[in-house]
Amino acid sequence: MSYPRKVLIVCKGNICRSPTAEAVLRIKASQLGLELEIDSAGIENYHCGSKPDPRAIKHAHRRGYDLTSQKARQIEPNDFSYFDVILAADKSNLTDLKNLCPAEHHSKLMLFLGLQDLMDPYWGDAEHFEEVLDLIEKRADFLLKQWQPGN
């Protein structure tokens, strides 16, 4: 696969994991000089138009990531053809995406962490939001290294 230029991250409601991953990838890509279009979406529509979870905003801000301009949205049919790669937060999200996605775009779907789920901090405490940030930052570094031209 050639390196992607348009990346979508998807979780259940688009208020914790996917907006955090969007912000981290965007900042880290910019620091590397990579021109990527990065967006996030949710499988479900119950948070559409809402800002990310205040806890996600707070913990991301402490590390220099700004989530305040983001608004939750639900994945749309045209996302499957538009984006080069679609990263699901967990296996449940990946299954939902495969059910929604036209077969010709299934190769674009993968787990954000590769082989494991990115835990949902929504029902957790501050420690869970910090752990999710740790995992996202580490994986973002790995992915962006892979996506640099020439790799």
Domains of the chain: 6-147 (3.40.50.2300)
Enumerate residue ranges in the chain where pLDDT < 70: 1-2, 151
117 has catalytic annotation: no
73 has catalytic annotation: no
Q: pLDDT digits over 92-129, tens only? A: 999 999 999 999 999 999 999 999 999 999 999 999 99
- From 16, 26, 120, 139, the catalytic residue: 120
Cα 76 to Cα 108: distance, rounded to the nearest angstrom: 15
- From 17, 26, 73, 139, the catalytic residue: 17
53 has catalytic annotation: no
Whether residue 38 contacts residue 140, with contact meaning beta carbons closer than 8 Å, is answered with no
